[in-house]
Amino acid sequence: MSAIRPQHPDISDDMWIKVDEIIDTNKNTDGSIITVLRECQGTVGYLPVELIDYISAGMNLPNSNVYGVASFYSLFSMTPKGRHTIKVCTGTACYVKGIKEVIIRIGDKYKVGEGGTTEDRRFSLEPVRCLGACGLAPVMVIGEDTHGDVSADKVIDIVDQYK
């Protein structure tokens, strides 16, 4: 089928098999590139350059087109992520309720900036625009867990549980 799989330290053989499946399922559907990128990122954790090239070839789309899409949408990341992604809501309700202080506190403790990853790849800190849980503001999501009402003085206790 598609191009030869490039070598990449972050992409295991199992992941490549999954990637091929994703491409196969979607390659004949118009407009499915966003779905393919999302699912591939879900499999690999991020979108390395080699993977984007491979996807472009498999989907029969110009590289420039696929890069264009990947860089436009904030969901997609071309750099590796930490083991845990801390999504901090920077929506209005959370801002009014003090998410700024929460972000400062996390950044201070783990030495990580917004959009960055800690050196030991333990955490990525990702600001998101409203998680739709404004009733619990300020809100933070780590992995699949939503944490509401996270004041600056409580936040480190929560984050520190994720090793």
Partner 1 sequence: MEKLTVQTLSEMQQRLKSEFEASKKTYLLICGGTGCHATGSIKVKDALAGELEAKGLNEKVQIVETGCNGFCAMGPLMVVHPDGIFYQKMKVDDIEEIVTSHLINKKPVERLLYKDPVTKKFIPRHDEIPFFAHQMPRVLRNKGVIDPESISDYIARDGYSAAAKALFDMGPEDIVAEVKTSGIRGRGGAGFPTGMKWDFTRASKGDTKYVLCNADEGDPGAFMDRSILEADPHAVLEGMIIAAKAINSKKGYIYARTEYPLAISRLQIAITAAKEMGLLGENILGSGFDFDVEIYQGAGAFVCGEETALMRSIEGQRGMPRPRPPFPAHKGLWEKPTILNNVETLANIPQIIINGGAWYASVGTETSKGTKVFALSGDINNIGLVEVPMGTTLRSIVYDIGGGIPNKRKFKGVQLGGPSGGCVPEHLLDTPVDYEAIAKVGAIMGSGGAIVMDDRTCMVDMARFFMDFIQDESCGKCTPCREGTRRLLEILEKICDGKGVPEDIDLMLELSEMIKDSALCGLGQTGPNPVLSSLRYFRDEFDAHINEKRCPAKRCAALLKFEVDPDLCKKCGMCFKACPADAITWQKKEVAVIDKEKCIKCMTCFEKCKFDAIF
Identify what 98 binds: ligand FES, partner 1, none; CB under 5 to 8 Å per kind: partner 1
CB neighbour list of residue 123: distance below 8 Å, 6 or more residues apart: 82, 83, 84, 85, 86, 110, 112, 117, 159, 162
Report the b/e string of 19-50 with b at 16+ CB within 10 A: beebbeebbeeeebbeebbebbbebbbbbbee
Q: Could you tell me the two tokens for 148?
A: 């509401």
* Interface with ligand FES in residues 87-126 (CB under 6 A): 89, 91-94
Should residue 134 be labelled a site residue for ligand FES when binding is judged by CB under 6 A? yes
- The residue within the footprint of partner 1, chosen from 22, 33, 47, 55 (CB under 8 A), is 33
Should residue 100 be labelled a site residue for partner 1 when binding is judged by CB under 8 A? yes
Should residue 46 be labelled a site residue for partner 1 when binding is judged by CB under 8 A? no
Should residue 90 be labelled a site residue for partner 1 when binding is judged by CB under 8 A? yes
* Interface with ligand FES in residues 38-57 (CB under 6 A): none
Q: Which stretch binds partner 1 (CB under 8 A): 2-10, 50-58, 86-94, 114-122?
A: 86-94
Identify what 80 binds: partner 1, ligand FES, none; CB under 5 to 8 Å per kind: none
CB neighbour list of residue 88: distance below 8 Å, 6 or more residues apart: 94, 99, 102, 103, 106, 125, 126, 127, 128, 138, 140
Report the b/e string of 81-95 with b at 16+ CB within 10 A: bbebbbbbbbbebbe
**Residues in touch with ligand FES (CB under 6 A):** 89, 91-94, 130-134, 137, 139
**Residues in touch with partner 1 (CB under 8 A):** 30-35, 37-38, 68-69, 72-76, 89-98, 100-101, 104-105, 108, 128-137, 139, 145-148, 151-153
